[in-house]
């Protein structure tokens, strides 16, 4: 295996051009923090972007930040924090779920995986904050899309096409994101002892109020204790996050207490404890158990989530908790991924997308990791892929089994590459 | 009409017009096909009225099946299709072509589902933007993006243009508020993207479709997020002696961590035109007038008003009024909302531009515009979505004076070049359409545009859907698909590797 470590966009372009010419597959990685997600890809060469780093523009008053794709996310978040700002889409950190250290990952990876967090409900995901990219297509051609201003409808939004593409369309070399002021303070309102059904109703009530709840999660009995070092004690907890300016937060927390007083016991969690709770919900900490038990991330209609989980429990051993008002269900299976049951029941309960984010490689090779698409959409997606990467050299097989990797020629080192170190 | 080059009409299609009309009548019941000159006259232009063209035939389908059959029919026979919603595009996105079927989606006018617990509305694309809010406001909900044409513009058109509005700094554009669509591809295939769920795995084709100006597919259903109305809203009306001070005030408000619901700026010509028209009580002795609207719980709004007042004073504001009633808030807005017709009163015609710039470049761009204004001998008034840097210069001209439209268009193009030069973009919310098509090269390289056109090839390989829009020059997909790489000729000896 050969690893290329470019430090400039021009070098990235040269490498992709070579790979395209020689029809050699490339696996693009940043810090590798999400490398275990997706179908296990077999690529002869690794394009390591972890040295393509640096914040190239940060103008807090313009709410804009540009960086090279390999810039560590942690570095960017620190920089923003020092100016009272943040990436409002709250990118989750997969580290702990995979038994690795937290705090790794790059800004390019955040885009490629379209990361988000509990605030997704109100603030959107990476796709909603990306303003522009520079990238190298699988054709080896450098292109840019979007810009550095918030409001822009000039041409197709190819920046969004990069979000969630897992590096299979182009190698993004530079990103420009919208940044936003961080909330002055946050408080969590916790309604206790609700069963899943009632929790879904309580979250819908809260989200439909003018309390401007920014996150809504429900931890069933047995999951609660695994959040924020057990600060919530035992028993189910339905969590509502309120963020903003001090007086406003106090007012809205009070409003939620009034709204939910008949639903159950209502508690208030403030400050660091509140922030830790949401960090753990974001990072799926309850299932960061040091095992490789299969974990599903299910994006679905919020109102159907409890019934979906109930139906699944009748068929399989499963541990579950809810984020996004129920619109995001995390499932940990006791043994097999049970893909057939998960996807059949998801279709029955309003449809959506189930992604097998954690599983042993053999499961990820045997099961479609990402939700299979209907034929017309799958064909359209394949045509889009073909237009970016006609030779199928970028992360072949990572998203779909039918990527055109079979068209690639067997490994043959280019003349200028024979001196490469093999690891 | 000034010299706009559109794709050459296809003679074969023109010669088969009667047959095509008859076939359309088989697909869509009689009154859904309009082929008389008088009947088609109503569709010959959109919001960019400088350009007019009668289509081959107007078809108004009512079902997804009809849309699918029309597109499949046209695709198989190499007939061009121009989709149209309410026809409010300010960039000529719905301008018909002589040899193209004009596919009008106005009969798709039903709201299909209101779902409060999941906070979504599912609507057909011909429902107006405001129609969605009207359907849910009894329960205190609304749909956030509010383009100024919201009373007329359709939600399908909003998807096509990624429409914004004065509230999008805080609440996002159409792209951030649409959760799903159903659309028909040029070959008649029906595809659903997204739905009531937030994340869809696979390529973000919903993101690509939003703002694609009708070149990729025809939207037949839209699922949007609805929000609970803020408890209260109040506005500040702040005047500054210079635009620099106004601009700095905007920067300081955002720097203080405040994201207002709306933040609009007007320059002196716009202030005076608006005040003459609606008598909103605007100060006439200022160079820049800022309207800052804060929304949310009363306690939050009161808290932030105090902070914004202090910031304004600190930046040398000479006047600062805070609305004390809903009536007063609406009066503050009345002048801004009437700015376009107000300018229409002081000039026989005006041409509305739509660039976005990094906010800090505002003084430089305004100065540049003043110079251009002198150079072209045409006046210009500016309204500005100050929070997100979206400028709407209104160029004043008289279409009855020979050559003035051309001059206004050249002036407009120079303004947009200036926007790009300072790091901005050609269009913030009105779209490229035919209007800014030939300026795309100012912002994008050939490689950038080629990659965009390749995406078009994945959706519509024969370039039949809305041709002549967005791209200055259409290149055949086969040509775009060629790869110019040569084995063994690429060397890169100095790259660090391990």
- One of 3.40.50.150, 3.40.47.10, 3.30.200.20, 3.30.70.3450 is the CATH number of B232-340, namely 3.30.70.3450
Q: Within 13 Å, how many C-alpha atoms sit on residue A311's CB side? A: 14
Domain boundaries, chain B: 11-104, 232-340, 347-431
* pLDDT of amino acid A386: 96
Which of chain B's residues have a Cβ under 8 Å away from the Cβ of A145? 448, 451-452
| Residue B472 near residue B440 (C-beta atoms within 8 A) | yes
Radius of gyration of chain A (CA): 22
Using an 8 Å CB-CB cutoff, list chain B residues near A169: 203
Q: What is the DSSP letter of A75?
A: H
What DSSP string runs through A91-151?
Answer: ----TGGGTS-SS--BHHHHHHTT---TTHHHH--HHHHEEEEEEEETTS-EEEEE-SSS-
Other CB atoms within 10 A of residue A385 CB: 23
Q: How far is Cα A111 from Cα A86, in angstroms, rounded to an integer?
A: 15
Interface test with B, best of A12, A89, A150 (most B CBs within 10 A): A150
Residues of B in Cβ contact (< 8 Å) with A301? 118, 195-197
| Closest chain B CA to residue A144 | B448
Write the CB contacts of B463 (distance below 8 Å, at least 6 apart in sequence). Answer: B456, B474, B476, B477
Residue pointed to by tokens 């006018």: B109
Residue of B201, B462, B488 to mutate, interface with A, max A Cβ within 10 Å: B201
Distances (CA, A) of B357 to B162, B182, B345: 18, 33, 28
pLDDT digits (tens, 9 = 90+) for A59-97: 999 999 999 999 999 999 999 999 999 999 999 999 999
Going by C-alpha positions, the residue among A177, A144, A176, A172 that lies closest to residue A49 is A172
**pTM of the predicted protein model:** 0.95
Contact residues on chain A for B140, CB-CB shorter than 8 A: 210
CA distance between the termini of chain A: 6
At a CB cut-off of 8 Å and minimum separation 6, what does A122 contact? A212, A213, A214, A215
Please give the C-alpha separations between residue B311 and each of A60, B21, B246, B451, in angstroms, as whole numbers.
17, 63, 11, 45
Query: Is there a contact between A192 and A267 (Cβ–Cβ < 8 Å)?
Result: yes
* Whether pLDDT at A420 is above 90: no
Chain B residue with minimum CA distance to A2: B498
Q: What is the dihedral of CA B486, B489, B494, B498, to 10 degrees?
A: 60
Judge whether B64 is closer than 8 Å to chain A, CB to CB. Answer: no
Asked if residue A408 has pLDDT above 60, the reply is: no
Query: For chain A, how many residues are written?
Result: 423
CB < 8 Å to A157, chain B:
162, 175, 207-208, 210-212
User: Whose CA is closest to A311, among A272, A347, A285?
Assistant: A347
Q: Residue B487 and residue A24: Cα distance in Å, rounded?
A: 12
Q: Give me the residue from B119, B356, B481 closest to A152, CB to CB.
A: B356
For B169, nearest residue in chain A (alpha carbons): A150
| A151/B173 CB distance under 8 A | yes
Q: Which residues contact A8 (CB under 8 A, 6 or more apart)?
A: A52
Smallest Cα distance from A386 to chain B, Å: 8
Q: B202 vs A371: CB contact, 8 Å cut-off?
A: yes
CA distance B227 to chain A (A): 7
Strands (E) in B76-119, as ranges, are 80-84, 100-104, 111-115
Continuous H helices in A8-113: 9-22, 73-82, 107-112
B406 interfaces chain A, CB cutoff of 8 Å: no
Q: List, for chain B, all residue ranges whose pLDDT scores fall below the cut of 50.
A: 1, 488-498
Distance CA A97, CA A277 (A): 16
Q: Which two tokens stand for residue B16?
A: 């088969």
Residue A203 dihedral angles phi and psi, to the nearest 5°: -65, -40
How far apart are alpha carbons A272 and A185 in whole angstroms? 10
| Per-residue model confidence (pLDDT) at position A403 | 45
Contacts of B195 in chain A (CB under 8 A): 301, 350-352
| Contacts of B377 by beta carbon, 8 Å cutoff, 6+ apart | B407
Structure tokens at A331: 């499932």
Which tokens in the block code for residue A63?
A: 């709410």
Distance from C-alpha of B415 to C-alpha of B266, rounded to nearest angstrom: 17
CB within 8 Å: A210 and B140 = yes
Assign B33 to helix, strand or coil. strand
Closest CA to B192 of B211, B226, B158, B219: B219
Q: Which residues of B touch A390 (CB under 8 A)?
A: 481, 483
In contact, B167 and B154? CB cutoff 8 Å: no
Tell me what pLDDT residue B475 has: 83
Question: How far does A183 lie from chain B, in Å, by closest CA?
Answer: 8
Question: How far is it, in rounded angstroms, from Cα A228 to Cα B473?
Answer: 57
Helices B326-337 and B268-278: angle between axes, nearest 10 degrees: 120
Instruction: Please indicate if any CB of chain A lies within 8 Å of the CB of B478.
Output: no
Question: Is B193 in Cβ contact with A163 (below 8 Å)?
Answer: no
What pLDDT was estimated at residue A244? Answer: 96
Q: Tell me the shortest Cα–Cα distance from B93 to chain A, in angstroms.
A: 12
Chain A / chain B CB contacts < 8 angstroms: 322
CA A104 to CA A30: how far, in whole Å?
A: 9
Inform me whether the C-beta atom of residue B483 falls under 8 Å from chain A C-beta atoms: yes
Choose among A2, A61, A151: nearest Cβ to B356.
A151
Checking B332-335 for CB contacts under 8 A at 24+ apart, the result is B332/B235, B332/B237, B332/B280, B332/B291, B333/B235, B333/B291, B333/B293, B334/B278, B334/B280, B335/B266, B335/B271, B335/B274, B335/B275, B335/B277, B335/B278, B335/B280, B335/B282
Query: Which residue from B473, B422, B467 is spatially nearest to B93, judged by alpha carbons?
Result: B467
Tell me: pLDDT of A405 over 60.
Answer: no
From B199, which residue of chain A is nearest by alpha-carbon distance?
A299
Instruction: Tell me which residue in B168, B189, B197 faces A376 most closely, judged by beta carbons.
Output: B189
Nearest of A381, A394, A337 to residue A363 by alpha carbon:
A337
- CB nearest to B485's CB, from A60, A116, A140: A140
What lies within 8 Å, CB to CB, of A76 at 6+ separation is A55, A65, A67, A87, A107
Q: Do A353 and B201 touch (CB under 8 A)?
A: yes
Alpha carbon distance A115, B228 (integer Å): 26
What stretch of H or E contains A90? none
**Residue B489: other Cβ atoms inside 10 A:** 10
Q: What is the CA radius of gyration of chain B?
A: 24
Q: Which residues on B lie below 8 Å from A165 (Cβ)?
A: 203-204
Q: Are B11-104 and B232-340 the same fold in CATH?
A: no
The answer to whether residue B114 neighbours chain A at the CB level (below 8 Å) is: no
Q: Are A294 and A363 in contact (CB under 8 A)?
A: yes
CB atoms within 10 A of CB A395: 28
Among partner residues A21, A208, A385, which is closest to B490 by beta-carbon distance?
A21
Q: Residue B161 pairs with which residues in a beta bridge?
A: none
For testing the chain A interface, which of B159, B163, B178, B197 should be mutated: the one with the most A CBs within 10 Å?
A: B197
Neighbours of A321 (CB within 10 A): 26
- Give the pLDDT band of residue A400 (cuts 50, 70, 90): confident
**How big is chain B, counted in residues?**
498
Question: A322 contacts in B (CB within 8 Å)?
Answer: none
Q: SS3 of B397, please?
A: strand
The candidate with the shortest Cα–Cα distance to B459, out of B159, B266, B219, is B219
The topology under which CATH files domain B11-104 is 3.30.43
Contact B113/A at CB under 8 A:
no
Question: What span, in angstroms and rounded, lies between the C-alpha atoms of A277 and A101?
Answer: 18
CB burial of A27-65 (b: ≥16 within 10 Å; e: otherwise) equals bbbbbbbbbbbbbebebbbbbbbbebbeeeebebbbbbb
Contacts of A101 (CB under 8 A, 6+ apart): A95
Whole-number pLDDT of residue B1: 41
Q: Do B485 and A380 touch (CB under 8 A)?
A: no
Are the beta carbons of B185 and A351 separated by less than 8 Å?
A: no
Residue A44's pLDDT band, with cuts at 50, 70 and 90, is confident
Query: What domains are defined for chain A?
Result: 1-182+374-410 (3.30.465.10), 185-282 (3.30.70.2190), 285-366 (3.30.70.260)
Q: Is B347-431 a CATH 3.30.70.2740 domain?
A: yes
Determine which of B184, B203, B439 to mutate to test the interface with A (most A C-beta atoms within 10 Å).
B203
* Closest CB from B173, B388, B455 relative to A156: B455
Of residues A402, B455, A104, the one with CA closest to residue A113: A104
Say yes or no: B446 contacts chain A, CB-CB below 8 A: no
Task: Indicate the residue of B299, B440, B485 with minimum beta-carbon distance to A155.
Answer: B440
Residue B208 to residue A161, Cβ atoms within 8 A: yes
Angle subtended by helix axes B339-346 and B268-278, to nearest 10: 90
Looking at every residue in chain A, the average pLDDT score rounds to 93
**Short-list A171, A173, A392, CA closest to B483:** A392
- What sign for the dihedral angle of Cα B335, B338, B339, B344? negative
Between chains, do B254 and A181 touch, taking CB under 8 Å as contact? Answer: yes
pLDDT digits (tens, 9 = 90+) for A186-214: 999 999 999 999 999 999 999 999 999 99
And the tokens for B44?
């010959």
Distance (Å, whole) CA B225 – CA B206: 14
Determine whether the interchain pair B197/A352 forms a contact, defined as Cβ–Cβ distance below 8 Å.
yes
| Cβ(B424)–Cβ(B356) below 8 Å | yes
pLDDT at residue number B44: 96
- Contact assignment for B201 to A164 by CB distance below 8 Å: yes
């Amino acid at each position: 295996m050969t690893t290329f470590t470019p430090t400039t966009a021009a070098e990235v372009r040269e490498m992709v051009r070579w790979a395209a010419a020689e029809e050699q597959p490339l696996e693009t990685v940043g810090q590798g923090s999400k490398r275990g997600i997706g179908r296990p890809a077999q690529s002869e060469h690794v394009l390591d972007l972890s040295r393509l780093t640096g914040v190239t523009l940060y103008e807090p008053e313009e709410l804009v930040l540009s960086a090279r794709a390999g810039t560590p996310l942690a570095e960017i978040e620190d920089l923003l924090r020092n100016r009272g700002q943040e990436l409002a889409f709250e990118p989750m950190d997969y580290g702990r779920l995979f038994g690795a250290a937290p705090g790794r990952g790059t800004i390019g990876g955040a885009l490629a995986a379209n990361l988000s967090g509990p605030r997704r409900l109100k603030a959107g995901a990476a796709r909603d904050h990306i303003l522009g990219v520079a990238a190298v297509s699988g054709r080896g051609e450098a292109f840019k899309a979007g810009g550095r201003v918030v409001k822009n409808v000039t041409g197709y939004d190819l920046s969004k096409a990069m979000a969630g593409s897992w590096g299979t369309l182009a190698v993004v070399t530079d990103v420009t994101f919208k940044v936003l002021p961080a909330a002055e303070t946050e408080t969590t309102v916790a309604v206790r002892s609700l069963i899943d059904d009632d929790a879904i109703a309580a979250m819908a009530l809260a989200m439909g109020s003018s309390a401007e709840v920014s996150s809504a999660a429900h931890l069933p009995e047995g999951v609660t204790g695994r959040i924020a070092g057990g600060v919530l004690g035992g028993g189910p907890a339905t969590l509502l996050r309120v963020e903003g300016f001090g007086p406003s937060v106090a007012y809205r927390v009070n409003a939620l207490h009034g709204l939910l007083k008949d639903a159950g016991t209502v508690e208030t969690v403030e400050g660091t404890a509140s922030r830790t709770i949401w960090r753990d919900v974001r990072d799926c900490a309850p299932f960061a158990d040091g095992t490789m038990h299969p974990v599903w991330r299910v994006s679905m209609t919020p109102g159907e989530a409890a019934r979906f989980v109930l139906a699944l429990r009748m068929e399989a051993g499963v541990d579950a908790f809810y984020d996004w008002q129920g619109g995001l269900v995390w499932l940990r299976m006791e043994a097999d991924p049970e893909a057939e049951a998960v996807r059949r029941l998801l279709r029955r309960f309003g449809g959506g997308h189930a992604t097998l984010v954690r599983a042993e490689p053999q499961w990820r090779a045997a099961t479609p990791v990402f939700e299979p698409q209907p034929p017309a959409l799958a064909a359209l997606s394949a045509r889009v892929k073909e237009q970016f990467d006609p030779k199928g050299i970028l992360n072949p097989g990572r998203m779909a089994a039918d990527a055109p990797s079979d068209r690639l020629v067997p490994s043959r080192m280019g003349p200028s590459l024979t001196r490469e170190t093999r690891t | 009409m000034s010299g706009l080059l559109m794709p050459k009409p296809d003679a074969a299609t023109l010669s088969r017009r009667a047959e095509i009309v008859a076939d359309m009548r088989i697909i869509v019941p009689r009154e859904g096909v309009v082929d008389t000159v008088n009947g088609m006259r109503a569709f010959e232009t959109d919001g960019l009225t400088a350009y007019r063209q009668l289509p081959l035939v107007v078809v108004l389908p009512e079902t997804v099946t009809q849309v699918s059959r029309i597109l499949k029919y046209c695709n198989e026979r190499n007939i061009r299709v121009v989709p149209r919603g309410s026809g409010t595009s300010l960039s000529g996105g719905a301008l018909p072509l002589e040899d193209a079927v004009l596919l009008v989606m106005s009969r798709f006018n039903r709201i299909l589902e209101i779902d409060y617990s999941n906070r979504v509305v599912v609507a057909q694309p011909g429902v107006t933007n405001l129609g969605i809010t009207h359907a849910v406001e009894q329960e205190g909900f609304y749909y956030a993006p509010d383009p100024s044409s919201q009373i007329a513009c359709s939600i399908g058109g909003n998807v096509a243009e990624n429409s914004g509005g004065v509230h999008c700094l805080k609440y996002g554009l159409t792209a951030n508020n649409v959760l799903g669509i159903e659309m028909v591809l040029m070959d008649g295939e029906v595809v659903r993207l997204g739905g009531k769920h937030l994340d869809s795995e696979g390529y973000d084709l919903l993101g690509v479709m939003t703002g694609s100006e009708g070149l990729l597919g025809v939207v037949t259903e839209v699922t949007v997020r609805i929000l609970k109305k803020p408890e209260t809203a109040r506005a500040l009306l702040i005047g500054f002696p210079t635009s620099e001070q106004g601009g700095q005030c905007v920067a300081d408000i955002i720097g203080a961590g405040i994201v207002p619901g709306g933040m609009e700026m007007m320059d002196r010509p716009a202030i005076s035109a608006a005040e003459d028209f609606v008598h909103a009580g605007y100060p006439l002795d200022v160079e820049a007038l800022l309207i800052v609207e804060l929304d949310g719980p009363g306690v939050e709004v009161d808290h932030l008003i105090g902070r914004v007042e202090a910031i304004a004073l600190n930046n040398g504001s000479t006047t600062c009024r805070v609305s004390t009633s809903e009536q007063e808030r609406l009066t503050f807005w009345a002048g801004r909302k009437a700015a376009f017709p107000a300018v229409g009163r002081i000039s026989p015609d005006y041409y509305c531009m739509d660039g976005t710039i990094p906010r800090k470049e505002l003084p430089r761009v305004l100065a540049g515009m003043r110079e251009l204004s002198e150079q072209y001998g045409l006046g210009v008034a500016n309204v500005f979505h100050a929070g997100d840097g979206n400028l709407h210069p209104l160029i004043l001209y008289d279409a009855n004076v020979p050559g003035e439209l051309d001059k206004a268009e050249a002036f407009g193009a120079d303004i947009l070049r200036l926007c790009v030069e300072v790091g901005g973009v050609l269009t913030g919310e009105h779209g490229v359409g035919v209007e800014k098509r030939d300026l795309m090269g100012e912002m994008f390289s050939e490689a950038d545009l080629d990659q965009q056109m390749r995406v078009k090839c994945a959706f519509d390989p024969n370039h039949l859907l809305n041709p002549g829009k967005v791209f200055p020059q259409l290149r055949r997909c086969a040509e775009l698909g060629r790869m110019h790489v040569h084995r063994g000729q690429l060397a890169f000896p100095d790259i660090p590797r391990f």
